[in-house]
Each structure stands twice: as C-alpha cells, then as structure tokens.
Amino acid sequence: MRTRTAVVAGLIGLAVFTLAWELFVRLLDVEPFILLPPSRIIGELLERPGFYLQATLVTARHALAGLAIAVVVAVLLGSVLASSRFLEHAVQPVLMLVLVAPWVAYFTSIVVWLGRGDPPVVFLVALVTMPAFVFATVAGLRSADPAARELFASVDARRWEVLWRLRLPSALPALLATARYGSALALAAAYYGEGGNLTNEGLGAVGRRAANGQNGPVLWASVLATVLLGVVFLTLISLAERVLLRWHVSQRRSLLVGEPEPPVP
Amino acid sequence: MAAVELSGVSRRFGRTEALARTDLRVEPGEIVTVLGPSGSGKTTLLRIVGGLVAPSSGDVVVDGMAPARARATKRIGFVPQRPALLPWRTVEDNARLLLQVNRGAGPPGASAGSRDLLQQVGLGDFLGAYPHELSGGMQQRVSLARALALGAPLLLMDEPFAALDEITRTDMRHLLTELCEPLGTTILFVTHSIAEAVFLSDRVAVLSSRPGTVVGIERVDLARPRSPDLEDDPAFFAIERRLRGLLHEGMAR
C-alpha cells in the first residue's frame, strides 16, 4: 500500500471512531462526568492552547529524560548481563519485580528521597521503562550472527569492538521495537507521577487538579493532550526506524504477491 | 619455515572425536585444499589453524608462531562458509571491516585498497549497495575482497562456495585463482568438491570420515596460471579420479 493511502485510511478510521463516540454520547445522553463528547474535549484544548502546550512540554520533558536514562542504563547493564548467563539469571527476577510492582506503592518513598519536582517523575519513568529495555538489549546483543562473531575473532577484535561494531547494531531492531512500547509506558508513568503529587507541573498535574475540582473537560483535555504526545513519540520512533534500520528486513519492500508490504518512506 | 605446520593435532568435543591425530605442512605461497566428506573435521582443522579452537593435543605453528599470536597480529584472512556480511554496512564498508577492527595490530602486508579489490571482483558498481541487495555469489565476492583487503599472508577458506549454484561456484574458483596466483598468498582451503580442490590447489589433503585424519595427499601437477579450460583436460580428470579413490578409501575406514 502507498504511504498516502495508508495515511488516508488511518485518518478515516480516526474520523469514524470520533464520530461514533460523539453520536454515542449525544444520542444516549451520557452524563458529563462519565464521558464527554469529543467536540467538548477538543473545544477545551483549542480554548487554551498555550496552557496545554506548556503542560505537554513538561510531560514530554519528563518522559524523554526518563526514557533516555532508562536506555543508557539498560544498554550498559544489558551489555554486562549478555556476557554472563549467571548474571542474567541473577538479575532477571529483580527486573521482573520492578516491572510488575505497582508504582503507586512507592510514590511516597520517592518523594521523601528526591523531593518534589522533575527528579521524582523522571526517576519513576526511568525505573518502570528500564526492565523492558534491559531484556531487549540482552536478547538483541545475543542475536549477533555467530559467523560474524567468528570473523571478528579471526582478527582478534577487542571486546568493545565486537560490542560497538557488531552486537549493538544487531540489538538495534529489538531496542527500537521496545521503544514503541516503552514510550507509551513512559507517558503513562509521567502522567501518573505528575498526577500522583510528585510535582505540580505537567499534564498529570493538570488532570489531578481537574479531577479534584470535578472539571470533566479539563481532565479529558489533559488525557487527549497525552494521547497526542504519544502519537508524536510513535511517529518519531517510526522515522528513526526508517533511518537507522534501512537495512533491516522489517523496513524492506516485499516483492511477494499477496504479502503485506512494510511501510515505505 | 612452513606457513602452517600441524603435528599430531587432534580435537575432541565432549565424547565425540572430531579430528584424530593429523599432520599437515603447508609451504609459503602454496595452495592446499583439505578435501573430505561431511563431518570429517575439515572445519575444525581450519579453526584450529586460525586459533579459533584449541587442539586437544598436538602442536600448531602458523608463520613461525602460535595461531593465537598470528590471529592477534592479523596474519590470517578468514573467509567463512557464509559471507557473514554486516547487513547495516554497505558493500564498501563491509570490505573495509577487518581493516577497521583491531587497528593496533595493523595489516601485516600491503594490499590493494578495498575499493580496487571490489572492482576486481566485479562489484565496482555496487560499492554503496547493501548486502540484501546482492545475490549469494556477489555477497561471497564481498567476503573474498574483505579477506584480501587485509593483506594477510595466510588465507583460511571454509567451504566458501558451498552454498552457491554450480555455475556461480565455478566462476568463483576461477576468480579466486585469478586474484591469488599473482599475490603468492598461502591458502588453506576446505571443500567437499573434488573439481574445486583440483582446480585451486598445489596439493590436496584427503580426510577420512569422522574422526578425520589425512588418508593421503595428492600433488596437483597442473601448470599455473590455471585457466578455466583446464577443467576439460584429461590430466584434470585423472587427478579427480585419484582423489575420488582416496575419498572412498577414507570413507570406508
């Protein structure tokens, strides 16, 4: 399918969904505190674009800083774990605990430790997104072609050379695939962190204040702004995949009859 | 001093004996092929020479030193069974790879630049292409250029043409002699193709079935430079026939 057709199809899908939502709320007279029609939410966003944009930038900063820290720590930790099955097995349960523990449970501890403001939110985002990146790094580093590893060994390549020139590029597809899921998780963590009283800034804080004041339009506008930010993140990751993974099978055009074609830049 | 000397080399993997006591000597500039049935330890032998696998017993000397030392000083150009090109690198960058790795050791000999080598293997128009855009034969040519770019005095080639179709395979052995005969590079080549062994080699060492050991060495007294029409020569067939006999003998042991 051509890119343009794909974009048009996506827009049609969104339009149909929004229209159905609008009709559902209006025709069934749904109470405003249960669900608002999309027109009200969009109207609220457009009424104070500067206010929402500023809060969105704060949430974006929290999510991106947390993600960046998570990726750096994960790649470093993953590189160490990939070199030893014992270490990997030793650390795996801890990472699983981090992954499944309810974040709300340690909000208070984080605030006591880091105070309020950016640091606790960024820490929360980094903490919850990091395990998936570690798993992706370990699996990706191990996926390097054994024949290529032998080739590197034949000229006595240093460990860091094998890591930098062979293993990390081999891990890139897994890391970028994880970034899709990780960016959504990062936004959720940033929103919950901001809303969970870790800071007074960001979309989560806007949402928390609106919920306390039972202001439906503002609450939903903060959710919609988070969704739009998520769309921006996913678009950026897709672009990064097209540039960085030009060589990868996922980014190539299929020539097989009847096979779905990958996205074409 | 021999380019490669194996004395009483053997290798076990757990309870499996892959290679029984084997002696083999390769003179500098000589092209020696190790011919043997599947599972006869050919690849193991090559890996031992390359310092990638340690022998269970025996001594290995490459260029007057231990294989590990030869490897560390980049004296060994390795052409693996699969081309093992890095899919994110272009053809030209793949051909340069071994020069960029372990730079401290430096290439021991001067070589034609990787770009020139790619021209010589017929890939001058594909310098910026990615491996997935090439056919199997073209990928193997890049692998060959990559090994030659190193300028190493010893090339180890592990059935590099095994996965290619017959026509491409024949072209590749002609190309290999064309490139290597003038350089005087020592080559230890592993294959299970008799025609390939005869065409390329000065001598052919035939291995028995597992555990492999040398059952016979056949000298290939055919003039160099070798040209493709040599493969229709009665002398060529005669050597092929003798090698087939040795192979059967080795498989019956």
Interval A70-87: pLDDT, tens = 999 999 999 988 888 888
Q: Give the per-residue pLDDT at A265.
A: 41
Four-residue CA torsion sign, B182, B188, B193, B194: positive
Q: Give the per-residue pLDDT at B4.
A: 85
Q: What percent of chain A has pLDDT over 90?
A: 55
- Tell me the backbone φ, ψ of residue B228, rounded to 5 degrees: -55, -35
- The residues that bridge with B10 in the sheet, in sequence order, are B57
Q: Which two tokens stand for residue B28?
A: 């500098």
Q: How confident is the model over A60-68, as a mean pLDDT?
A: 96
Show Cβ contacts of residue A137 under 8 Å, excluding neighbours closer than 6 positions.
Answer: A74, A75, A77, A78, A79, A81, A82, A171, A174, A175
Show Cβ contacts of residue A2 under 8 Å, excluding neighbours closer than 6 positions.
Answer: A264
Interval A97-132: pLDDT, tens = 887 888 777 777 888 888 888 999 999 999 999 999
Helices (H) and strands (E) in chain A, counts: 11, 0
Q: Give the per-residue pLDDT at A18.
A: 92
Q: Which two tokens stand for residue A50?
A: 């500067």
Report CB contact under 8 Å: B80, A158.
Answer: no
Interval A223-265: pLDDT, tens = 999 999 999 999 999 888 888 888 787 777 665 666 655 554 4
Note whether A98 and A128 are within 8 A (CB): yes
Nearest residue on chain B to A149, alpha-carbon basis:
B84
Q: Is B188 exposed, middle or buried (0-12, 13-18, 19+ CB in 10 A)?
A: buried
Going across the sheet that includes B4-13, the strands are B16-26, B4-13, B57-62
Q: Give the per-residue pLDDT at A264.
A: 46
Q: What is the pTM of this model?
A: 0.81
Q: How confident is the model over A145-171, as a mean pLDDT?
A: 91
Distance CA B50, CA A26 (A): 76
Q: Which residues of B touch A154 (CB under 8 A)?
A: 50, 52, 71, 76-78, 156
Check whether A9 has a pLDDT greater than 80: yes
Region of residue B51 (phi > 0: left; psi between -120 and 50: alpha; otherwise: beta): left
Q: Which residues of A touch B81 (CB under 8 A)?
A: 147
Show Cβ contacts of residue A247 under 8 Å, excluding neighbours closer than 6 positions.
Answer: B87, B88, B130, B131, B132
> How far from A257 is each of A96, A253, A254, A260, CA to CA, in Å?
42, 12, 8, 9
In DSSP notation, A197-213 reads: II-S-SHHHHHHHHHHT
Residues of chain B that touch chain A, judged by Cβ-Cβ distance less than 8 Å: 50, 52, 68, 71-72, 74, 76-78, 80-82, 84, 86-88, 97-98, 100-102, 105, 130-132, 150, 156
Strands annotated E in B121-165:
154-158
Interval B54-98: pLDDT, tens = 898 889 998 889 888 889 888 888 999 899 999 999 999 999 888
Distance CA A207, CA A224 (A): 11
Q: What percent of chain B has pLDDT over 70?
A: 97
Q: Give the per-residue pLDDT at A68.
A: 96
Pick the residue with more confidence: B225 or A54? A54
On whether ipTM exceeds 0.85, the answer is: yes
Interval B98-157: pLDDT, tens = 888 878 776 555 566 888 888 888 888 888 889 988 888 889 989 988 988 888 889 999
